[in-house]
Amino acid sequence: MGNFWSGRNNRASIALALCIALSGGLTGSPSWAQSETAPSETQVVPPPQFLDPETPIARAIQSEMSPDLDQGLVLHYGERAFAPVWFTEDGLTENAHLTIAAMAAANEHALNPNNYDPLGFIKRSETATSEQDWARFDIDLSVQFLRYATHLSSGRVQPNAVNKALNLFPDRPDPKNLFKAVARSEDFSAFLDSLAPQSDNYARLKRRLGQFREKAAEGGFTPIPDGEVLKPGMDDPRIAVLRQRLIEEDIPGAADHNGEAYDGALVEAVKTFQEYHGLATDGVIGKNTLAKLNIPLQEKLIQMELNMERRRWMRDDLGEFYIFSNLADQNLKVVRNGKTIHTARVVVGKPYHATPVFSDQLEYVEINPFWNVPYSIATKEYLPKLKQNASALSGKQIRVFQDGTEIAPTQVAWNSYSGGNFPFRLRQDPGDGNALGRIKFMFPNRFNIYIHDTPSKSLFSRAERAFSHGCIRVSNPFKLADVLLADVNANPGHWETIRDSEKRTVIKPAAPIEVHLTYLTAWMNKDGSTHFRKDIYGRDKVLLEALRTAMTQNL
């Protein structure tokens, strides 16, 4: 029969043994999952010598084809005449060993190894004696590999099924094509690695998760005792503890500070910590900053694990030229050929007007736009005011239209209408008081969401900026226009000149520009900084519950 532990199979088995040793057992699981104690027995015993290595096992596999199996998987077995995928007459293949090892190490990707039962396959390989035993083994390993590949490449749960505001539909692996790729693979280890998102953002967060887990195993972060608000220049007995706490989270500059005065490098380190956590960067350690300093490391681990799931939903390649707005971060960036060429603060939807997550393409930019008041705003906000005072629109440059004809608001019996009976359209003229400001960036979509200017500039100075009805208000919008429309006209100030002309103007970009509205509450930047944001829409909580449910149901 041959020795499983020699030659190529030996290298695979060593990989499995190392995986077990490094992970502390095959059943290691994400922070949000319960784990069980893994048995220490790991030896894999080869399958029995079949008198006919093909026909009997093929018949056994065919007889084990359940109606509940994925049809793509059934077709794959049928095309190979029901020959086993994971073993030959010489024993388990190297691919089988590497697959079991990969599933055992799923915790590195914030997936739960228990969902793929790697230890179970080791035990079954020790006890299987018949063709039927090995047929079930082969089919079950195929099923679990398909599940593992699906979870790793496109997520544990379907985003839109978890939350209708997440309009993401990641491609799930096609079983037939997946197993064909397995058969064709010359470097199966590389193939397994390729199943995970191939983006630097995912790789960085995965690496940082591992580092934070090590810190958690060492005892976590040192808590900061309560006390009075700590301002720069003050002396405080907590200074040494604060310094140690910042060093533990690798905040730059913290280790450069000495003494018991809150000054110099330590103040700058606190400002950096505040930046990393989406707080006002004033260096003052008040209630909010102290709370962030004392968040249990376990909660940060969970937050990172949730955002690895979100990264699995996203495409690896977001395009050559794109707008990326993280709603949780309330910031926007423009990326071209892999480089960030512009950043801006944004205002996003209030929690009860939460901005949805989706991708689209910028179609045009409009300077001096009209604002066609959305039906919901017209009926819920303006109609009650008009019922009280028919002149409520006076001074707002909002006109009333019915069937395309403008009518005077004072000539309408507003008390006769309701949200279900409102035949009017409200439109605000261009101008400084226009709700859209002087420019809007349009990517027409069914949510009626777009990026625009605003007359309410003061909101951009706030640390938390969730104040809109769902659309995204952007700071320095004409600077954004300069960046996005540089291929149309690169002269600085050109678009402001059009603005000042008061003329409504529509400009189309010269090259396709993708728009990605995302929701990420934890990420790691290229410079090594790790960022966490408040879950303004409660989507972390919803996703956490969905992942726990999926785990218990073994989906």
**CA of residue 408 relative to chain centroid, distance:** 48
Instruction: Exactly one of 342, 452, 494, 531 is catalytic; name it.
Output: 452
DSSP state of 166: B
DSSP state of 323: E
DSSP state of 378: I
Q: How many CA within 13 A on the CB side of residue 159?
A: 26
Alpha carbon distance 183, 85 (integer Å) = 8
353 contact partners, CB below 8 Å, separation of at least 6: 468, 469, 470
Pick the closest to residue 454 from 441, 436, 471, 439 (CA basis). Answer: 436
Alpha carbon distance 313, 197 (integer Å) = 9
> Is 471 considered catalytic here?
yes
Name beta bridge partners: 63: none
Length of the chain: 555
How many C-beta atoms surround the C-beta of residue 296 within 10 A? 12
> Is 19 considered catalytic here?
no
Contact 251, 262 (CB under 8 A): no
Instruction: Give residue for tokens 């533990």.
Output: 248
How many C-beta atoms surround the C-beta of residue 14 within 10 A? 13
Reduced to 3 states, what is the DSSP secondary structure of residue 187? Answer: coil
Alpha carbon distance 513, 491 (integer Å) = 20
Alpha carbon distance 518, 328 (integer Å) = 8
Alpha carbon distance 454, 104 (integer Å) = 52
Kindly report the backbone phi and psi dihedral angles of residue 241, in degrees, each rounded to the nearest multiple of 5, phi listed first: -65, -40
Cα 210 to Cα 84, 206, 214: the distances in Å are 36, 6, 6
Alpha carbon distance 3, 48 (integer Å) = 12
Instruction: Exactly one of 471, 494, 516, 531 is catalytic; name it.
Output: 471
How many C-beta atoms surround the C-beta of residue 391 within 10 A? 11
Q: Which residues are part of the catalytic machinery?
A: 452, 471
